[in-house]
Amino acid sequence: MIIAIDGPAAAGKGTLGRRLAEHFGLAYLDTGLIYRAIASKMSQRDLDPADPEAAAAVARTLSAEDLEDPALRGDEAAQAASQVAAIPDVRAAVLDFQRDFAAHPPGGARGAVLDGRDIGTVVCPGADHKLFVTADLEARATRRFQELRERGVESIYARVLEDMAERDARDSQREVAPLVPAIDAFMLDTTELEADAAFAAALKFIASRC
Ligand code: CDP
C-alpha cells in the first residue's frame, strides 16, 4: 500500500502522514528532508544552493543517515531547500532513493507513506491513495510560527508569512515537478480542521476506495 501526500508548506502533511503510517503499519518518508539535507550539506561547504552542478554533485552523494540531522527542520534550511529542489539534476539524482523506499519499505513494513510536493505526480504516480493537503497561507504561517516558538526559535510572524509565500511561489512555478495536485488526488483543506479531523477525513477517503 502506497499513500502519496503532497501540498504546500505547513499544511499538515507531516502530522497526517505519520498518523496514517502508524495506523496502517506503513513506513514513512518526509521527502522534504532530502532537499533540506542537500541544502544543509552545501551550506556546510560554503556552496551556493542555486549552483546546479554543485547541488547535483551533493545530491548524488546523499545517504539515508543524512536525513536524520535535527537541524534540518529550521526555516533557513527550508528556503535553501526550495532553491536546490528547483534544479532538474538534483531531482533526477534523488528519484531512485524515493522510489526504492516506496518499493522496499524499511523494517519489513507492508507499504509506505511519502509526503512532499511531487509524490502523486512524479515519484509514485501509481500510488494507491493520493492526498493533496492544503490550507490558507495565513493559517499555515500561523502554524509554522507557533511550531518555531515551541522549539524555542525566535521569529517574526510577518517574516514567516513572507518566506512561506516566496517558497510556495518558487515550488509552484518551477519547471520540473512543480507543486500541483495529481488529477486523482483527494483535496483536503485543513484551514478549519484540527489534526484529528484531518486524519478522520483522510481515513474516510481511503476507506471509500478499498
Ligand atoms: O516542512 P515544509 O512543508 O515547510 O517543507 P518540506 O516539506 O521540508 O520541503 C522543503 C522544500 O523542499 C520545499 O519548499 C520544496 O521546495 C522541496 N521539496 C520538493 O521540491 N519536493 C518534495 N517532494 C519535497 C520537498
Q: CB within 6 Å of ligand 1 — which residues?
A: 9-10, 31-32, 35-36, 78, 81-82, 85, 116-118, 167, 171
Residue 87 lies in a domain: yes
- Per-residue model confidence (pLDDT) at position 24: 97
Q: What is the Å distance from ligand 1's center to 17 Cα? A: 14
Q: Report residue 74's pLDDT band, with 50, 70 and 90 as the boundaries.
A: confident
Residue 98 lies in a domain: yes
Determine the structural domain holding residue 164 and report its residue range: 2-195
Provide the grid cell at 191.
484551514
68: domain CATH number is 3.40.50.300
- Per-residue model confidence (pLDDT) at position 29: 97
State phi, psi for 5 to the nearest 5 degrees. -125, 120
Edge-to-edge strand list for the sheet holding 129-134 = 27-30, 112-116, 2-6, 129-134, 186-189
Residue 201 lies in a domain: no
Show Cβ contacts of residue 155 under 8 Å, excluding neighbours closer than 6 positions.
Answer: 75, 145, 148, 149
Which protein residue has the closest C-alpha to ligand 1 atom 21?
117
Q: Are 119 and 85 in contact (CB under 8 A)?
A: no
Quote the number of domains for the chain: 1
Residue 208 lies in a domain: no
> Average pLDDT, whole number, for the chain?
95
Read off the pTM: 0.95
pLDDT digits (tens, 9 = 90+) for 59-68: 999 999 999 9
Residue 200 lies in a domain: no
Q: What CA–CA distance (Å, rounded) separates 130 from 175? A: 22
pLDDT digits (tens, 9 = 90+) for 111-153: 999 999 999 999 999 999 999 999 999 999 999 999 999 988 8
Q: Point out which residues pair with 30 in neighbouring strands.
A: 115
